[in-house]
């Protein structure tokens, strides 16, 4: 390609990166279902050397995040590779509100004596800055899952830390279009490509991006040794899906803002959590560190868990399903998930898709009304 991500806008990079540029090259990245290659080019075995399909996804996401990327079998595989860099006895600092897979990974390692874990409230910036002085892994997730608290990455990533410390940021909810942690000073940014990158609920993949060459090589070695490699079809689909990320995100964010405002005014809704609302506790931080407020809304229904479950059962256009970031809207009661019982029992997490906003609202408001009968 004759340009890089610094020369064109992200919307253009999404469409153009990772393609061939020579006469006769296929316009779209080919699906390369090969485990091994003819020796002599430097690429011999896919687990060690990757494939052109993986590299296309890495080029797109790496350019968006502002670093060099590695594709993994899932978001958790990418996260586990970061944790794999820690020496025995390390200190891991986690948000109080974070993805249960990460909390489970950290707890399992602590139980085995690999590291100790400290939990800090996402919005307690002073505590994060203090913790950076001693931590070996500062793990941030912003906006957080599912309470949507926005961390002050600008201050936390700039805090003094040990030379060997890793600052990792799960950037899945924000996407690289709304937030670039490496630009704030983070060491590595993680995408669960299963979500917004793929965008169609049809793959599992993850991407880790860093501008630290030593860490990149260490993560690559971890991917090789653990076999946490992405599938060929999955990376092909992720490349195809990411091409439309900008338009999907723009549409869904606009809809999410309107739905959040309508939910906030609804008499049967106790609380709405969306960073774009002025009532959100970290709205001011979100305005400073995010370029957009995202497509996820969490809200609490009057009537507790029973009413919330009824809303999930009554919706017709919105799908009662887990995960997020796809073209279709999905919703679930997060406290019903094992390991998430500490969350508000009536909290529903809604991932807004690209459907018509009025159709979504009619579906949602009818389900809320039915839950109170």
Catalytic residue IDs: 47, 99, 170, 195
Q: Which contacts (CB < 8 Å, 24+ apart) does range 356-364 have? A: 357/254, 357/255, 357/258, 357/259, 359/317, 360/255, 360/259, 360/317, 360/318, 360/329, 361/258, 361/259, 361/262, 363/315, 363/316, 363/317, 363/318, 364/259, 364/263, 364/311, 364/315, 364/318
Report the C-alpha gap between 252 and 151 in whole angstroms: 22
Query: What are the φ and ψ backbone dihedral angles of 114, each rounded to 5 degrees?
Result: -80, -40
Give the DSSP per-residue string, 240-291: HHHTTHHHHHHHHHHHHHHHHHHHHT-TTEEEEE-TTSTTSTTHHHHHHH-S
In angstroms, rounded to a whole number, what is the distance separating the alpha carbons of residues 309 and 320? 10
Two tokens, residue 47: 């687990």
- 236: how many CB neighbours lie within 10 A of its CB? 23
Q: Which residues lie below 8 Å from residue 40, measured CB to CB, with a gap of 6+?
A: none
Give the integer Cα–Cα distance in Å for 92 and 115.
7
Residue 118 zone, left/alpha/beta (φ > 0; ψ -120 to 50; rest): beta
Contact (CB, 8 A) for 277 and 283:
yes
- Asked if residue 106 lies in contact with residue 92, where contact means CB atoms within 8 angstroms, the answer is yes
Closest C-alpha among 79, 97, 99, 105 to residue 168: 79
- Which has the closest alpha carbon to 305: 258, 337, 353? 337
* Apex 42 CA angle, 36 and 45, nearest 5: 20
């Amino acid at each position: 390609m004759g340009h890089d991500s610094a020369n064109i806008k992200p919307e253009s990079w999404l469409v153009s990166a990772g393609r061939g540029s020579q006469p006769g090259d296929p316009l779209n990245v080919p699906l390369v279902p090969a485990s091994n290659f003819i020796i002599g080019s430097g690429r011999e075995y896919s687990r060690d050397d990757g494939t052109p399909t993986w590299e296309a996804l890495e080029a797109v996401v790496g350019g968006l995040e502002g670093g060099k990327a590695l594709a993994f079998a899932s978001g958790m595989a990418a996260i586990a590779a970061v944790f794999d860099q820690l020496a025995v006895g390390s200190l891991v600092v986690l948000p109080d509100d974070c993805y249960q897979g990460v909390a489970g990974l950290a707890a399992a390692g602590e139980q085995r004596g690999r590291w100790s874990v400290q939990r800090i409230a996402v919005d307690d910036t002073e505590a994060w800055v203090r913790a950076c002085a001693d931590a070996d892994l500062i793990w941030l997730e912003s906006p957080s899952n599912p309470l949507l608290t926005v961390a002050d990455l600008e201050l936390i990533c700039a805090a003094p830390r040990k030379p060997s410390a890793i600052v990792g940021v799960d950037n899945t909810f924000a996407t690289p279009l709304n937030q670039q942690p490496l630009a704030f000073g983070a060491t590595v940014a993680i995408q669960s490509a299963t979500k917004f990158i793929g965008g169609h609920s049809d793959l599992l993949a993850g991407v880790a991006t860093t501008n630290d060459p030593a860490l990149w090589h260490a993560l690559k070695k971890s991917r090789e040794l653990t076999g946490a490699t992405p599938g060929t079809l999955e990376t092909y689909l992720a490349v195809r899906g990411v091409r439309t990320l900008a338009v999907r995100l723009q549409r869904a964010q606009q809809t999410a803002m309107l739905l959040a405002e309508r939910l906030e005014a609804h008499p049967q809704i106790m609380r709405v959590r969306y960073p774009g609302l002025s009532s959100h506790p970290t709205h001011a931080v979100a305005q400073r560190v995010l370029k957009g407020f995202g497509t996820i809304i969490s809200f609490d229904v009057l009537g507790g868990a029973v009413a919330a479950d009824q809303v999930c059962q009554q919706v017709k256009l919105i799908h009662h399903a887990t995960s997020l970031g796809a073209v279709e809207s999905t919703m679930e009661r997060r406290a019903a998930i094992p390991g998430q019982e500490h969350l508000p029992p009536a909290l529903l997490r809604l991932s807004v898709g690209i459907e018509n906003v009025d159709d979504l609202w009619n579906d949602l408001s009818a389900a809320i009304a039915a839950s109170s009968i």
